[in-house]
Structure 1
Amino acid sequence: MSTSASRAALAAALTYPLGDTVPATGTVQWLAPGVGWLRMPLPFALDHINLWLLRDGAGWTIVDSGVATAATQAAWEQIFADQLQGLPVRRVLATHSHPDHIGLAHWLCQRWQVALWTSAGEYAFARMMSAALPGVDNAAAVTHFQRHGLRDPALLEQMSARKNYYPSLVPAVPASYTRLQDGQLLTIGERVWQVVCGYGHSPEHVALYCEKDKLLIAGDMLLPRISTNVSVFAVEPEGNPLTRYLESLDKFAKWPNDVLVLPSHGLPFRGMPLRILQLREHHRERLAEVVLACHTYQSAASIVPLMFRRPLDAHQMSFALGEALAHLHALWYDGVLQRVAEADGSLLFRLAQD
């Protein structure tokens, strides 16, 4: 079977028990007793995020928040008015620190006077990013991209202008939190969820698995139609996130095919083991393309067109460059590539010499 045919077969093997049905903004679609699906708008090309409402005894746990916009706040107020059955929110849980997942967490926690629950890595990163500390601010990102070959003046100008990008979507993070750790068992109402921490997409991403009911709140670790972004960022310039991400998938691959996966983007699906195979194949193909290109010296910027064959705006380019560098770093750490520094400090990669 050809590679493309294999991918098509894997995609067809996924099942979507709800079809194309999605909840309207401000409403809840119930997937199981006490498990509600919400969808909020995003101001990006990826225009939505799935959020989850879990019955928690005499109240509710919210999983992820959406970005800090008036539209998202209004949608939450509609949920509170129409869907909570007169019961309070008892906690807010964030799978990770990206703006669409934690942007309104501070407002939700204040609104209900409850704690934020997340991992230490995600909490720390969100605090750093929201405060735009040196090393995670816009200036550090632009320097990082220049070091890895970005020279386009228009893109550099657009990226330099995004000084308050993260703080505008995450204006505040709660001053304290309750820590979640890998392997921890978390009781929410009548269900027990296992905390599963994954790496590569974000510092210490939290997924939740309920073995009894075969439910997985996957966050961004497993998406049905697109591959999760895996990037090297300025704050960790020597990182190897692609290897960490692929290793993390092993934690999910052991669970059965009939688990209902609740992803942060796209539709709930079954067929998790096959989706993991598809993701591994996707990255194997990208790595093979990078190896072929690196018969001559390449930067992350020169690799981007091989991996993303469409025009990219500044927002998309920041993710594309980070992902191209993640693939270069995976091969570099494996000894397939060597890295050299130019006189101006820029970094290039080429096949290691025998």
Structure 2
Amino acid sequence: MIVTPDHGMPPLEPALEPTPVPPGPGELRRILPGLAWARMPLPFPPRHVNLWLIDDGEGVLAVDAGARTEDSVPLWTRILDEGLAGRPLTRLLVTHFHPDHVGFAGWLCERHDVPLLMPRTEYLMARFLSLDTDEGMTARQLAFAAAAGCPPAHLDFLAGRGPLYARAVTALPRCYRRIAQGDVLTIGGRAWHVHTGGGHAPEMAALHCPELGVLISADQILPRITPYVGVGAAEPLADPLEDFLASNERLRALPAETLVLPSHGEPFTGLHARIDALAAHHAERLETLAAGLAAPLTTFEAARILFPRVTEDRQIGFAVGETLAHLNRLVESGRAERIGDEVPRYRRRARAEGEAAEP
């Protein structure tokens, strides 16, 4: 149990309509009493990330920090000086280790002398990747791509890119406060329950406030796009799709009418319907991929089935990672088999006589 004091300060006024238009860069939109919405631009798709600011006693707790970009300082300065009318940050809660969420956290924590709250795995991932800058990191990335059967041109792209993560984040504090599944944070006199989920990130935090009927879903549940669920070079045999689907099913315990505040896109209701849609999407992807594995394929070749129009090098990496997540799920569920070691290939497994079909 994590409990923090509430100083009884009034929420920022005035409150806006429940579903406001998205705020511009550096602006705030009040969506509920004690809860505001900010949006930061990204130099890569999906071009923005949502931040959530919750009244927290004398100041405001921020959920996520945005990316490290040239605009980060002026935009955050505008939020703090104009949007919050000089009210201070009290705490920074980062949902997961991806650069568009944690990228500017170090600067904010240092400049405003506030504690960083993160799930342990997410904090350690961010610290590790920000320090993993030697030649061995690039060599592992190249070995992973080569084992996937990627063409030489893509390997050259990876070799030239180098340690991308370290350049995308500011230095994280060496000290943080852990949040974990089942914790309850008191923010502005209200209880916010921590729900952690996997798949997109290993221990991503979402926050549910029963009193407000709100779920800050991070990247676990998005309204229109499907969160990236992929396998990385450090754990090539991982099964993140199983983690993702199981995590979503646990969120089904929340009320169907919950207002979902995602990291990308706009707030929405219909949590259970969206969980169903995400499950159906991945079920269709698995069926499509399994149908294409009549002959053995490398991961890169299989990616052409799921992502036939992807040709840009940065997107090839995502396509390969997500395809491998689906291949590993097929292998783990007994629907496909992995053949070979150096450049594995995958083929559909023939169903044994009398074996029931996959539901």
Aligned with residue 349 of structure 1, among 339, 346, 351: 346
Question: Structure 1 residue 134: deviation in Å?
Answer: 6.6
Equivalent position SS for 1:111: helix
**Once the 2 structures are TM-superposed, how far is the Cα of residue 66 of structure 1 from its aligned partner?**
1.0
The unaligned stretches of length 5 or more in structure 1 are 1-15
Change (3 A) 1:135 1:240: farther
Q: Secondary structure at the match of 1:266?
A: coil
- Percent of pairs with identical residues: 38
1:3-56 alpha-carbon deviations (Å, 9 max, x no partner): xxxxxxxxxxxxx9637x210111100111111100001010311000111110
CA shift, 1:85, in A, is 3.0
2:240 and 2:325 in contact (8 A); partners too: yes
Aligned-pair CA distance for 1:154: 2.4
The residue identity in structure 2 corresponding to 1:101 is H
Aligned to 1:331: 330
| 1:288 to partner: Cα distance | 0.2
Cα distance in 1 for partners of 2:139, 2:209 equals: 42
Secondary structure of the equivalent of 1:182? coil
Q: What CA distance in whole angstroms lies between the structure 1 residues aligned with 2:136 and 2:174?
A: 19
> Displacement, 1:132?
1.8
- Higher normalized contact order (CA 8 Å, seq sep 6+, divided by chain length): 1
Partner of 1:4: none
Q: Give the match for residue 6 of structure 1.
A: none
2:147 aligned partner, one-letter code? R
CA RMSD, Structure 1 to Structure 2 (Å):
1.7
* Residue range with higher mean Cα deviation, 84-93 or 173-182: 84-93
Whole-Å Cα distance in 2 between the matches of residues 62 and 146 of structure 1? 40
Residue of structure 1 in register with 2:173 after alignment? 174
2:234 alignment counterpart: 235
- Give the length in aligned residue pairs: 335
Structure 1 residue 178 displacement after superposition: 0.3
More displaced 10-residue stretch of structure 1: 121-130 or 308-317: 308-317
Secondary structure of the corresponding residue to residue 309 of structure 1: coil
Q: CA deviation at 1:136?
A: 8.7
Once the two structures are superposed, what CA deviation does each residue of 1:145-170 show, in whole Å capped at 9, x if it has no partner?
1101112x322222221113111111
Tell me the amino acid that sits aligned with residue 90 of structure 2: R
Structure 2 length as normaliser, TM-score? Answer: 0.90
**Aligned ranges for residues 1-354 of structure 1 at < 5 Å?**
18=19, 21-132=21-132, 137-151=137-151, 153-342=152-341, 345-353=342-350, 354=352
**Could you say what secondary structure the match of 1:161 adopts?**
helix
Deviations 1:64-100 (A, max 9, x none): 1111112022100111111223321111110000000
TM-score by length of 1: 0.91
Which segment drifts farther, 83-92 or 132-141?
132-141
Are the counterparts in 1 of residues 28 and 36 from structure 2 also a CA contact under 8 Å?
Answer: yes
Amino acid at match of 1:72: S
